[in-house]
Amino acid sequence: MFRKIIFWSHLVVGISVGVIVFIMAATGVLLTYEKQIIEWDESRYSIPPQSNEQKLTTDAVLNLVRQKHPDEHHFYIRWLKGDERPVPVWAGHQRYLISPYSGGIVQIGQSWLVESLHWITELHRWLALEGKQQAIAKSITAYSNLLFLFLIVSGSYLWLPRRFSWSTFKSSLLFRRQYNNRQARHFNWHHVFGFWAMVPLFVIVSTATVFHFSWATETLYSTFNEQPPQRKKMAEPEVLVDGLQSYQTLFNAAQQHANENGAQDWYSMWLEIGRESGQVRFYIDRSIGNQPDVAYSLYLDIDTADVVKIKRHSDWSRGDQAWDVARYLHTGEYFGVIGQTIAGLASLAGCFLVYSGFLLSWRRLVSPYLRRLKQPS
């Protein structure tokens, strides 16, 4: 009786949220290597230097965008290792891609590929809806994700065979070479994909709850006897005051600090100007932006280039660290490319689980009814 209750609950919930789960899983597959795709897209604009051509200084790059946005007081510059890579620069919300030698603007805004990834992300999070509908869509994806967690747990129970033997386990662990009919094939697919994707899907779906529900975030922080921080939007600076040191000097000081503190192999270095009065912030990252434990923030005085403060991932509160770990476990990025690959394959398995589950449900619920209609009265 208990197994029947779990089975029918699993079936009803699966039918109810299957379409939304499929959308989230499919978009998760497309976003598997999002950061790598963006890096590749930008690298297409790499320009080799001409003879005797000197690389632009940080001040020269900043002056280019300040001329275009004289009233803007908040800027980002992202330097990447490699002499040929273009320089991404943000003036407020406006983004430019600048040639590191000529200073020419090779791109304004984002490419169609990156914009497509942004749309897929919105589809993943709130079905790409806007306005008042976005809040409704967020609730739909949030509760669908929570019910997907129930499907994973209940499916794990239903996967267990009634009789424990190697032959019964094997039939649910491996794909068969031949099937008696399509139902047997879909049944086998549902069990095999469910088994091999069970653990990564559980991690992906359970960590997503901290993005959707305040109670999940509060539970996470309470584990460390902390309260979730009140995340407030930082006020935009009213004026940008330059210091006595040039921004290139500050950038050189940040490079030296990285070399002396085990980050000489940095991949990118973000320079944020205008966030705090009297300081500039560097974010020195040894990854492409998906492993916060190999990056740190460095704050330098704009007049003396002295270190004001250093903030590493280990300096965060334990609750903040746990929240950040959950964030990168959700995408698999916590374990680098291998983790991303596992997360992507698990999401793909999620698509097959929905597909095979719907076909099995159709055969159980709809096909008998259609057969009865065809029978002569």
For the chain, the residue count is 377
Q: Which residue has the tokens 């794990």?
A: 156
Nearest 10 degrees: Cα torsion 282, 284, 287, 290: -40
Largest CA distance in the chain: 94
Domain coordinates of the chain in residue numbers? 2-34+114-226+331-374, 48-101+232-316
Nearest 10 degrees: Cα torsion 339, 345, 350, 351: 140
Q: pLDDT tens per residue, the chain (377 residues)?
A: 899 999 999 999 999 999 999 999 999 999 999 999 999 999 998 888 877 888 999 999 999 999 999 999 999 999 998 778 899 999 999 999 999 998 999 999 999 999 999 999 999 999 999 999 999 999 999 999 999 999 999 999 999 887 777 777 777 888 888 888 888 899 999 999 999 999 999 999 999 999 999 999 999 999 999 999 887 666 666 778 899 999 999 999 999 999 999 999 999 999 999 888 899 999 999 998 878 889 999 999 999 999 999 999 999 999 999 999 999 999 999 999 999 999 999 999 999 999 999 999 998 888 877 777 777 76
CB atoms within 10 A of CB 164: 8
Cβ neighbourhood burial of 255 (10 Å; 0-12, 13-18, 19+): middle
- C-alpha 217/C-alpha 325 separation (Å) is 13
- C-alpha 24/C-alpha 312 separation (Å) is 32
- C-alpha 280/C-alpha 286 separation (Å) is 20
